[in-house]
Structure 1
């Protein structure tokens, strides 16, 4: 029986972190290591660990593409991850561990890191949290160990606390083969049963479309916020361009306006893909109510 681990890296800059961990677990160098500037993993990669003295050939690592990709939208990345997860779920495979990698060198959780953490939570759900390991990486790059300890404490207290309350654990990856295997072994010892992610249950069991899942709705909410910000910036630039006397500066502002208008159109198109029609929302609502009623009225065992 195979044991599946998902290595979830929230952003493209996490590529080298994941690759180091995979290299140490497999004993071979992947083509992903050392490429932090653009997202190298364009699809979910399945890597089987071979000839392990204890686990033999049973461990399979699923390396997910990072969000904030250079060439793909967040929804496209979510679609790729979803396709893989749904495929293995239909084959009755369950996930023994989900590793969330976070660089301890990052001193802020604002913007993308915080948004991607919410996305991760929506993808996993509360039930799967017990199989989640929140892994901090790049400890060897810190000037002071105390700085890392303070950041780890802040992460656990202010950002990771909901998942920890639902059973998730935390650990530090010290960039050694021993440390890499300790993470895997501890999960196997602690959780010998696999778990289904919320996204898998929503799509396969509840028959939801990807845009209707909790993770899909998070992507839509992010696009709404981005669209609002783009419109505000567009209005400000238009006002500046209209009142600018310097022709050169005015021309530069108009060029910025054209570029931003293209970005706004791109955002709008992405939102259209994720929009749920009113009729579908009503059908989803009554479908859930019916399922809940059936569950409530099910006869008690004799």
Structure 2
């Protein structure tokens, strides 16, 4: 699960400082949002609330990148496609935290998107979620974005290598394309063990330490705080609307299934203010 992977960074989980919201944080903290799917099975024990964990930076890393006295803040976000919470609400929670942090002059040092390499192949829905993630980050410099592939401990070696190549050449191509003029994201393996998780953080701290600016401003932060847009007007919300429209169009032919699916999606649609045409209403037999 996403939270378990996040906790790999902490030798003793009982010693981490758990804080809800963004209270107790400082503008000098190293902010790293952790994003990604909820995991296979969509367990109710997966993250549904946006939480953050304050972790002391390892002494050798703090000295190497001149970050002594600063804390690492891992922001554990709920994943899309959770059966118990709508995608619209998940986006709202992520946006609220990020906007609040930016409003208090706390910038993001890097973003980690975690994705299981096994057992399932990437689906169309996964691709849609990646597009929403891209809109959250923006189309500019992605050099501080790390795609961390997990579950290598249960994945056959040959399968994992092939999946990794497939993700890099197809699904993650737009994020990893080295031909882009601005910085691209980096894909790294995240096996079990805290030392591997610290390797991911090390890569972020290295970019942070060598950067001319202390942090980055994500697209959704810029749109909400600087431009004063409403959430429904942001690029991420617009992309999420596209995903929901696809769900509507691809609903099951079963009348009962169509009704259940629409009842669930319609609330998300209303939250994101998607206009329903008479044709769509008639097609689903809902009105």
TM-score normalised by length of structure 1: 0.71
Instruction: Please tell me whether the aligned partners of residues 88 and 94 of structure 1 are also in contact (alpha carbons under 8 angstroms).
Output: yes
1:22 and 2:3 aligned: no
- Counterpart CA distance in 2 for 1:100 and 1:106 is 18
1:186-224 per-position Cα deviation (integer Å, ceiling 9, x unaligned): 211123331111111111111111111111011211221
Q: Quote the Cα distance in structure 1 between the aligned partners of 2:159 and 2:264.
A: 40
Following the alignment from structure 1 to structure 2, what is the Cα–Cα distance between the partners of residues 98 and 62? Answer: 9
Between the two proteins, the alignment pairs up a number of residues equal to 237
Tell whether 2:172 aligns with 1:155.
no
Given the superposition, is the C-alpha separation of residues 75 and 39 from structure 1 closer, same or farther in structure 2, using an over 3 Å criterion? farther
Which of 183, 189, 206 is the equivalent residue of 2:200? 183
3-state SS in 1 of match to 2:88: helix
Map of 1:269-280 to 2, 5 A cutoff? 269-275=267-273
| Aligned-pair CA distance for 1:57 | 5.2
Does 2:246 match 1:225? yes
Offset at residue 263 of structure 1 (A): 3.2
RMSD: 2.6
Segments of structure 2 that go 5 or more residues without pairing to the other structure are: 19-37, 63-68, 178-182, 276-287
Partner of 1:127: 140
Measured in 1, the distance between the counterparts of 2:257 and 2:167 equals 37
Most deviating of 77-86 and 115-124? 115-124
What are the residue-to-residue correspondences of 1:1-302 with 2, within 5 Å?
A: 16=1, 18-29=2-13, 37-50=43-56, 52-54=58-60, 55=62, 58-143=71-156, 145-165=157-177, 166-192=183-209, 193-230=214-251, 233=252, 236-237=253-254, 257-258=255-256, 260-275=258-273
Other-structure match for 2:281: none
Shift of residue 40 of structure 1? 3.0
- Unpaired segments ≥5 residues, structure 1: 1-15, 238-256, 278-302
Q: Which structure has the greater CA radius of gyration?
A: 1
Instruction: Say if 1:26 and 1:50, in contact at 8 Å, map to a contact too.
Output: no
Give secondary structure in 1 for the equivalent of 2:98. Answer: helix
Please list the CA deviations of residues 78-133 of structure 1 after superposition, one character each: whole Å capped at 9, or x if unmatched.
00001100011111111111001111114422232111111111111122511100
SS of 1:59's equivalent in the other structure is strand
Name the structure with the higher helix share.
1
Q: TM-score, normalised by structure 2?
A: 0.75
Structure 1 distance, partners of 2:86, 2:40, is 23
Say which SS state the counterpart of residue 40 (structure 1) adopts. coil
